[in-house]
A = this chain, B = another copy of it.
Amino acid sequence: MKRKTIILTEGFTNPHTAKTASSVIRYGNDDVVALLDSTVAGETTQSQLGVGGAIPIVASLDEAPPADLLLLGIAPPGGSIPPSWRTVILEAISRGMDVTAGLHDFLNDDEEFTAAATAHGVTLTDVRQNHERDIARRLGLRGDCLRVLTVGHDCSVGKMLTSIELTKGLCAAGHDAHFIATGQTGIMVSGDGCPIDRVIADFVSGAVEKMILKHQHHDILMIEGQGSLVHPSYSAVTLGLIHGANPQALILVCELGRETITGLDHLRIPPLARIRELNETMASIFQPCPVIGIAVNSRKVSPEEAAAARIRLREEFGLPVCDVVRDGPQDLIEAVLAYRDSNGWRT
């Protein structure tokens, strides 16, 4: 049954910070009835996040339609609950709404929240909660299941979105593809997966490998990437994912206009050719794993600039390039299918 959902993004309603909100609106199974942010109340999610059509942005729960669920729609660095959000979370609980969050701070570790939830009979869900304790073994992987991982030149560039769009496109064309969620938002929209950045470091690759083994009866696994090998804060997660997923192909995701590492403005992102090389190097230690296509996120630039960049990147890399939102994912879907048919990866 679809739940009526209000997404809380108070003070953070922009496409970068509120990527959980955007993705739940774009891909989620529940009905989003409002977004709650008093700083942009009266607007729509379409005008602020570029998705969701007429979904209203409201200033308080009083102004929102009745709903079953409050979903916390941001994923800030460090993953803490903004202190100012406590009041609205408690108010939602007192109205009988369940609350779902994907932060490192767990709702269920907060005594005030859990006491209120018990009193009002509602459920608090922490999507990042996990108890992973298995190391990767590199055994039992099915040789003819094609594992395609998205990697990025930075964090928050569109790796999840790319993996989902390619999965949907492949399935629509009659192929047996499956999306593997590795982060809180991917889990919220797909209902399955593991929040690997919240796993104890020794068990990251083991947690990923377990998901692969569980789903490798599908022909093609499209695995959601995390972070970036060149992001000093999150590269541990990225490499654990690469070595746990053991992909045979990578899709490189980048955003036009992104110059510096997210959150570390003093560090310039290395050239894309270098990013490609680093990812292929680290994914190819025990078997070949090339980048087979580039997904370019061009939301910050004009259609003309986007088209020019697409041509330029195609020429520089000799690979299919598209913006899966602006252009549709067809070029990358064809790249995946051509690679699958090449047999080069069945080693």
Complex contact A133–B78 (CB within 8 A): yes
Complex contact B267–A235 (CB within 8 A): no
A138 contacts chain B at the CB level, 8 A cutoff: yes
The chain B residue with its CB closest to the CB of A80 is B133
- Contacting residues of chain A (229-245) with chain B, CB-CB under 8 angstroms: 229-230, 232-240, 243-244
What residues of B have a CB within 8 angstroms of the CB of A136 in the complex? 232-233
The chain B residue with its CB closest to the CB of A246 is B232
Complex contact A235–B230 (CB within 8 A): no
Complex contact A201–B197 (CB within 8 A): yes
Stretch at the interface among A62-70, A161-169, A278-286: A278-286
- Contacting residues of chain A (196-235) with chain B, CB-CB under 8 angstroms: 196-202, 204-206, 229-230, 232-235
A82 contacts chain B at the CB level, 8 A cutoff: no
Q: Which of A77, A232, A285 has the most CB of B within 10 A?
A: A232
Chain A residue total in the interface (Cβ 8 A): 45
What residues of B have a CB within 8 angstroms of the CB of A234 in the complex? 135, 202, 205
Complex contact B201–A200 (CB within 8 A): yes
The chain B residue with its CB closest to the CB of A137 is B264
A263 contacts chain B at the CB level, 8 A cutoff: yes
The complex places the Cα of A200 from the Cα of B196 at a distance, in Å, of 9
Q: How many monomers of this protein are in the complex?
A: 2
A173 contacts chain B at the CB level, 8 A cutoff: no
Given that A266-B138, A282-B278 are known contacts, is A236 also in contact with B237, CB under 8 Å in the complex? Answer: yes
Q: Which of A229, A234, A238, A266 has the most CB of B within 10 A?
A: A234
Q: Mark A50-88, 1 if CB is under 8 A from B, else 0.
A: 000000000000000000000000000111000000000
The chain B residue with its CB closest to the CB of A135 is B233
The complex places the Cα of A189 from the Cα of B144 at a distance, in Å, of 48
Give A225 Cβ to nearest chain B Cβ, in Å.
14
The complex places the Cα of A234 from the Cα of B138 at a distance, in Å, of 12
A270 contacts chain B at the CB level, 8 A cutoff: yes
Complex contact B199–A200 (CB within 8 A): yes
A139 contacts chain B at the CB level, 8 A cutoff: yes
Complex contact B236–A204 (CB within 8 A): yes
Give A60 Cβ to nearest chain B Cβ, in Å.
31
Complex contact A263–B135 (CB within 8 A): yes
Give A37 Cβ to nearest chain B Cβ, in Å.
25
| 22 pairs of residues in contact across A and B, judged by CB atoms under 8 Å | A104-B133, A104-B200, A104-B202, A135-B233, A135-B234, A135-B263, A136-B233, A137-B264, A197-B200, A199-B200, A199-B201, A200-B201, A201-B204, A201-B240, A202-B236, A202-B237, A204-B236, A205-B233, A229-B282, A230-B285, A278-B285, A281-B281
Known: A139-B266, A236-B240. 9 other contacts (CB 8 A): A78-B134, A79-B202, A137-B264, A138-B232, A198-B200, A205-B235, A206-B233, A232-B246, A267-B286
Shortest 9 CB-CB contacts between residues of A and residues of B? A236-B240, A232-B243, A197-B202, A135-B233, A239-B239, A204-B236, A236-B236, A136-B233, A201-B237
